[in-house]
Structure 1
Amino acid sequence: MARPSPTVAQLRALVAVADSGHFGRAAAALHVSQPTLSSAVASLERTLGVQLVERTTRSVLITGVGEDVVRRARGVLGAIDDIGEAAIRAREPLSGDIRLGVIPTVAPYLLPRLLLSLRGTHPQIRLSLRESQTTSILAELRGGLLDLALIALPADEPGVAELPLYDEDFVLVTPADHPLAGGVALPVVALAGQELLLLEDGHCFRAQALEVCREAGARERSALRAASLSTIVQMVAGGLGLTLLPVAAVGVEVGQGRGLAVATFRSPPPHRRIGLAYRSTSARVEDWMLLAGEIRAALPGTGLALTPV
């Protein structure tokens, strides 16, 4: 006789407990009572015949097999949500809930323009935003917690499709009195021997900037890493080194009166490609194509190289 299958409610209960690490908070997130949630998890354990959760007086721990079930449950729930969203899309394109993850070196420079644009063109969208590093965003995308990821491509993730949006050149930011300040069409090797300030580990832009350093013969000032481009630019203004910026960040981070200058590189300059990543099983590919068009239309005018693709 076939074993009974888990229900959607049971899977949502387990995932909520895994996300919050607490039965009370998980129940609140799902808008159910704690006894109802506890009963759903216990019922799932009986259905599967294994222990999924270790309950102690102070914490809730997911067992090894529980972690595997949670991972699979996220995929199942993501697919179920996609079915509902497909029905919404059939009634009205680019509408309903969209959960978008964005990397920190894109979010502050693109999102304000994009959100303003979407408010006018697609007011029916209910957009939820998550700013985090690429690894975390892709994990949440695969697990069904996000619908889309706005990241540097390629992601090279199994089960994840990619939609290129634009290519973005890198520029060099220096103190205004530096010999390279304001340079035009600099060869990358002009950075040889220079100390560059870079982001901390985990940022994809750090890896891209390190590649430029290796090519040019520059070195990182590793004692002065930062969590944001804003902090790095402030350190450059303080005379602590030079840095690379994606061109979309220039208008926000490098203003007049800050004692900074921007230099551009000779063609072909160092650059990155930004795009959308989504589960290849998503039922909303047409919506993601429409959103891609909105993003390209919202690209900031930088006076530098920011090229839709």
Structure 2
Amino acid sequence: MNITLRQLTYFIALAETRHFGRAAEVVHVSQPALSVQIRDLEAELGVQLVERQPRAVVLTPAGHDLLRHAQRVMQEVSALRDAARWQRGLGGRLSLGLIPTVAPYLLPKALPLIRAQNLTLEIGVREARTDRLLADLEEGRLDAALVALPAGRDDLVEAVLFEDRFLLAGSARQIAALGVGTEGVRPASLDPDRLLLLDEGHCLADQALEVCGMRRDETRVDLGASSLATLCGLAAEGFGLTFLPEIALASERAASPSLAVHRFASPEPARRLGLVRRRLSRDDGWFEALAAILAEAGRSLTDSARAAVGR
């Protein structure tokens, strides 16, 4: 039996898109070329893998079985490539993903530290929500991703980096109107009508709602902002209150000097940020080295925030 990786790659693209034309675009070949490879694969296996319908492609039971095996094979191939690339630790090309509420604050601190360790390292950075980063990681488009833990995936290895506590941010008048003393703000006491949230799907918004014991449909001032900077700008002008991670404090205060912040009561709500990689990916020291650098950068930001905003 002579099944090629190219055939498996084409078949996976076809199974995911359910369309010969779109699958051909994904793998950057012509549609006839892709069709020939799928027919050759079916002939080699002696089974029909897809039903060619007018508007879509439907996998046969044999097609579904092959898809599971093909995805496993491609994961193993990706692991082999990783093993070759990372034989000398943190080197070669690194594809790193970060969630949007971390990337603009941590990267300026972390990238110089990474460069100081290896000037020849090529770094590719992708900023996206957690679900997209984990999908890219699974499919081999990323080597590692920085997300809020736990990721909830048995096929990933997690390394805890640091704890990022949340601050309550708004205008000085709004913060003063809460009437809190040195003991801090209690999340459950917040008025849901004044809470500004990120778009649905951002883990920071989900975490804010969880610590407040609220549902999204209970908040009336839901602007659906896509960036934390937008929320902080609105909060500084008195349009509501928002949750501000410690790592973002210095940047957002510089951008919005009128932004006031206050600590929550103990135990302070926080998120655990961590680095994840595929379990099948070989680790010859690069993952631990990268995690140590990101942890150092994160702790530098949180230490500064805790010094700036005491009780």
Same fold, judged at TM 0.5 (above)? yes
Query: In angstroms, what is the RMSD of aligned CA positions?
Result: 3.1
Aligned to 1:301: 301
| Residue identity matched to 2:8 | L
Deviation per CA, 1:150-196: give whole Å up to 9, x if none.
Answer: 10001121222211111110001011222149975414157433521
8 Å Cα contact 1:198/1:232 also seen in 2: yes
Q: 1:45 aligns to what?
A: 42
Cα deviation code 1:184-231 (max 9, x no counterpart): 54141574335211112111111110012218xxx6335423222122
> Where does residue 13 of structure 1 map in the other structure?
10
**Deviations for 1:112-166, whole angstroms, at most 9, x for unmatched residues?**
3222322232233333322222122223323333322210001121222211111
- Report the counterpart of residue 228 of structure 1 in structure 2: 227
More moved, 192-201 vs 163-172: 192-201
Measured after TM superposition, the shift of residue 73 of structure 1 is: 3.0
2:98 corresponds to which of 85, 97, 102: 102
Shift of 1:253: 1.9
What aligned pairs does 1:155-170 form with structure 2 within 5 A after superposition?
155-170=151-166
Q: Aligned match of 2:190 in 169, 189, 192? A: 192
- Secondary structure, aligned partner of 2:213: helix
Distance 1:201 1:47 in 2: 46
Equivalent residues of 1:151, 1:274 under 8 A apart:
yes
TM-score by length of 2: 0.80
Match of 2:25 in 1: 25
One-letter identity of the residue aligned with 1:301: L
State whether residues 181 and 261 of structure 1, in contact with CA within 8 Å, keep that contact through their aligned partners in structure 2: no
Question: 1:244 corresponds to which residue?
Answer: 243
Number of the residue aligned with 2:138 = 142
Q: What TM-score, normalized by structure 1, do the two folds share?
A: 0.81
Give secondary structure in 2 for the equivalent of 1:169.
strand
1:80 pairs with 77, 80, 87, which one? 77
Stretch moving more, 160-169 or 118-127: 118-127
Residue 47 of structure 1 and its aligned partner are, at CA, apart by 3.0
| Structure 1 contact 95–124 (Cα < 8 Å) conserved | yes
Q: How much does 1:69 deviate?
A: 4.5
Match of 1:114 in 2: 110
Measure the CA separation in 2 of the matches of 1:249 and 1:64: 50
The alpha-carbon distance between structure 1 residues 199 and 144, as it changes in their structure 2 partners (threshold 3 A), is: same
Shift of 1:254: 2.5
Equivalence for 2:260? 261
Letter in 1 for 2:110: L
SS of 2:207 mapped into structure 1: helix
| In 1: Cα distance, 2:137 partner to 2:85 partner | 20
Aligned to 1:292: 291
Structure 1 runs not aligned, ≥5 long = none
The CA deviation at 1:33 is: 6.6
Cα pair 2:187 2:264 within 8 Å, conserved: no
Does the CA contact (< 8 Å) of 1:184 and 1:265 recur in 2? no
Give 1:19 shift: 6.9
SS of residue in 1 equivalent to 2:173: coil
Is 1:101–1:130's contact at 8 Å kept on the other side of the alignment? yes
Note the residue ranges of structure 2 that are not aligned, 5 or more in a row.
none
The CA distance in 2 between the partners of 1:152 and 1:197, in whole Å, is 20
| 1:298 Cα offset (Å) | 2.4
